[in-house]
Amino acid sequence: MSEYTDYTAYETGAPVVDTKAPSGPVAERWDTRRFEAKLVNPANRRKHTVIVVGTGLAGGAAGATLAEQGYHVVQFCYQDSPRRAHSIAAQGGINAAKNYRNDGDSVHRLFYDTVKGGDFRARESNVHRLAQISVEIIDQCVAQGVPFAREYGGLLDTRSFGGVQVSRTFYARGQTGQQLLLGAYQALSRQIAAGNVEMHPRTEMLDLIVVDGRARGIVARDLITGRVDTYFADAVVLASGGYGNVFYLSTNAKNSNATAIWRAHQRGAYFANPCFTQIHPTCIPRSGDHQSKLTLMSESLRNDGRIWVPKAQGDTRPPADIPEEERDYYLERIYPSFGNLVPRDIASRAAKNVCDEGRGVGPGGQGVYLDFADAIRRMGREAVEEKYGNLFEMYERITAENPYEVPMRIYPAIHYTMGGLWVDYDLQTTVPGLFAIGEANFSDHGANRLGASALMQGLADGYFVLPSTINDYLARNPHHDDVDASHPEAVRAVAETNDRLERLLAVDGDRTPDSFHKEIGELLWEYCGMARTEEGLRKALARIPEIRDEFWRRIKVPGSGQELNQSLEKANRVVDYLELAELLCLDALHRTESCGGHFREESQTEGGEAERRDEEFSYAAAWEFTGTGRAPVLHKEALEFAYVHPTQRSYA
């Protein structure tokens, strides 16, 4: 185990090129690609099997749509029902360039906002396609019965979100993700009932089967019986979400995990931009060591709440006893023109800075006040209640503090990961036949995702992009029945999976899976969280292999592998976090610029703002796996901006 080379001594390999994106005017590329793509005869589609892993917005939509087209879909989720995928927890809304408000919105403006919001680290072709499709998504969801908010005239309501100047966000109260997911789940359920989708709930993908360089199937474990089985297909689609849970405390669901994408990475799929992680500034702070996850509260709170900390360090007086002149409204002070409405990354970093100075509030000093006293004075309590009532209620339920009387305490938390498996314009990874959609891929958000764009991307990939592009692959690679469980690659993948599970059970040490998960999470949060330095990242990179060694010496997993064993599931996911964490830190170390969600303290302007360095880093970093603990190979995909010209952000 301990035969590590120097992990940071990575080599730069050949550039990786997106061969599928057509040239020509950006607005015509999607049409061009769809026309160029080969089609599969409807009568032949049922002979093709497609595996879809995950049932969130991307996976659910893809499974339903592919089945509708006539493909035989075999789909998996670790949850007991496809309806529970974590897309369900998205609150805010979904963007679409409908321009129902006549406020100057257009496909081009959404495209522009997304490229700029992503700090110029996304592909123009992909983002433009996303903006084009956004319009169709709303039509599709309304037709499915998604109960979007409506006005008295019966038409759809929209609001502005995430600092953009147009009102293009469609929403269903604070439960937009839930309603969109249920729409996809219902469409999927219809196909399951019709026999077109073979659904395997409570079944977790543990490996990818690659035969002759092509993805041909997966190894998955039935979480109830513990049975490890093989499933084969003509193509495999990963829609398994992001890797935010590597930080242990995040707003992700407890069981969201990176195993599917990481094992695919180990089998040859490049992993791109892992250091682009998004931190959300308004989460409820942790209340103690028992904290198992963090809960996000809508960013809209910053519209009326004022953020402050005491001016003095270690001031433990109750907030009401701190006089006005001893409070530091630091966002208003540092960013007078944007004040409390600065973008997510800036608000988050500022909170970290004041807490690092010892001025944080609440248990452990890891929090800042979000105060509504002024808003209540100005608008009246009723107006505040009307606007934020449900959020205040949620806050009070969790913290037992009444935010009408005591200022809320907030702290940033990991929320979304822009990085993921590298995919081309067709959403195909570097392993032919392996596709990645939704948060699992790296494609559309660059270094930073705009609010209400995750739902848009998941559904665009699932309903519209993948079902068009996968045809081309399937048409060019006529199906073969040549692979089954006895194929040497399948036998090898199953043996490796079983071997890993048995090893986890055999160690019988003295530490729980959660204790390791917490340790790696805290390490990452400290050194690869909101602000990163070369020194910190090197520390983390030195420590990760040690934790990994300790893990394999001291992990304790009770029970057996032939039953429902949640400790085994957890431990098996931690194995992958312990590897992914290393790549995450390496990517952060190599990208010495600051960019979007990635802030390197060494790269900031004199005013303390993030400094992007386009001449060196205008590329996506796609990493190739060479072995656990061994330096990966970096492949760069150069980014070109012909329509949106890179500018430096400034919010001062």
Nearer to other proteins, 63 or 407 (CB): 63
Nearer to other proteins, 142 or 633 (CB): 142
Residues 529 and 246: their CA atoms lie apart, in Å, by: 11
Among candidate residues 610, 617, 625, 616, the one with its CA nearest the CA of residue 579: 625
Beta bridge partners of residue 232, listed in sequence order:
217
Residues 305 and 164: their CA atoms lie apart, in Å, by: 19
Long-range contacts of 385-389 (CB under 8 A, 24+ apart): 387/304, 388/300, 388/301, 388/304
353 Cβ partners below 8 Å, 6+ apart? Answer: none
Q: Are 618 and 580 within 8 A, CB to CB? A: no
Among candidate residues 501, 628, 515, the one with its CA nearest the CA of residue 568: 501
Beta bridge partners of residue 52, listed in sequence order:
75, 237
- Report the nearest approach of other proteins to the CB of residue 578 (Å): 18
Nearer to other proteins, 365 or 536 (CB): 365
Q: Are 26 and 648 within 8 A, CB to CB? A: no
One of 121, 129, 214, 344 is an active-site residue; which one?
344
Nearer to other proteins, 34 or 500 (CB): 34
CA dihedral for 187, 192, 193, 194, sign (positive or negative): positive
Residue 326: CA count within 13 A, CB half-sphere: 14
- Backbone angle region of 341, left / alpha / beta, with phi > 0 → left and psi within -120 to 50 → alpha: alpha
Ordered alpha helix ranges (H), 407-487: 454-459, 466-476
**Number of residues assigned to the chain:** 652
Q: The tokens 């009326």 sit on which residue?
A: 304
CA dihedral for 208, 212, 215, 220, sign (positive or negative): negative
What does the DSSP 8-state code read for residue 397?
A: H
- Report the nearest approach of other proteins to the CB of residue 397 (Å): 6
- Report the nearest approach of other proteins to the CB of residue 206 (Å): 19
Nearer to other proteins, 46 or 378 (CB): 46
Nearer to other proteins, 254 or 476 (CB): 254
Q: Which amino acid is at 511?
A: R
Nearer to other proteins, 575 or 621 (CB): 575
Nearer to other proteins, 71 or 232 (CB): 71
**What's the distance, Cα to Cα, between the start and end of the chain in Å?**
50
How far are the Cα atoms of 57, 74, 244, 347, 607 from residue 277, in angstroms, in the given order? 20, 31, 8, 15, 23
Residue 73: strand, helix, or coil: strand
User: Tokens in use for 208?
Assistant: 């990818």
- Report the nearest approach of other proteins to the CB of residue 118 (Å): 26
User: Tokens in use for 397?
Assistant: 């339920």
Nearer to other proteins, 200 or 216 (CB): 200
Tell me, yes or no, if 344 is annotated catalytic: yes
- Report the nearest approach of other proteins to the CB of residue 459 (Å): 10
- Report the nearest approach of other proteins to the CB of residue 572 (Å): 15
Q: Are 4 and 543 within 8 A, CB to CB? A: no
- Report the nearest approach of other proteins to the CB of residue 330 (Å): 27
Transcribe 205-266 into DSSP letters: EEEEEEETTEEEEEEEEETTT--EEEEE-SEEEE-----GGGGSSBSS-TT--SHHHHHHHH
How far are the Cα atoms of 336, 443, 515 from residue 580, in angstroms, in the given order? 39, 19, 17
- Report the nearest approach of other proteins to the CB of residue 432 (Å): 25
Residues 149 and 169: their CA atoms lie apart, in Å, by: 11
- Report the nearest approach of other proteins to the CB of residue 236 (Å): 20
Nearer to other proteins, 189 or 266 (CB): 189
- Report the nearest approach of other proteins to the CB of residue 247 (Å): 15
Catalytic residue IDs: 344
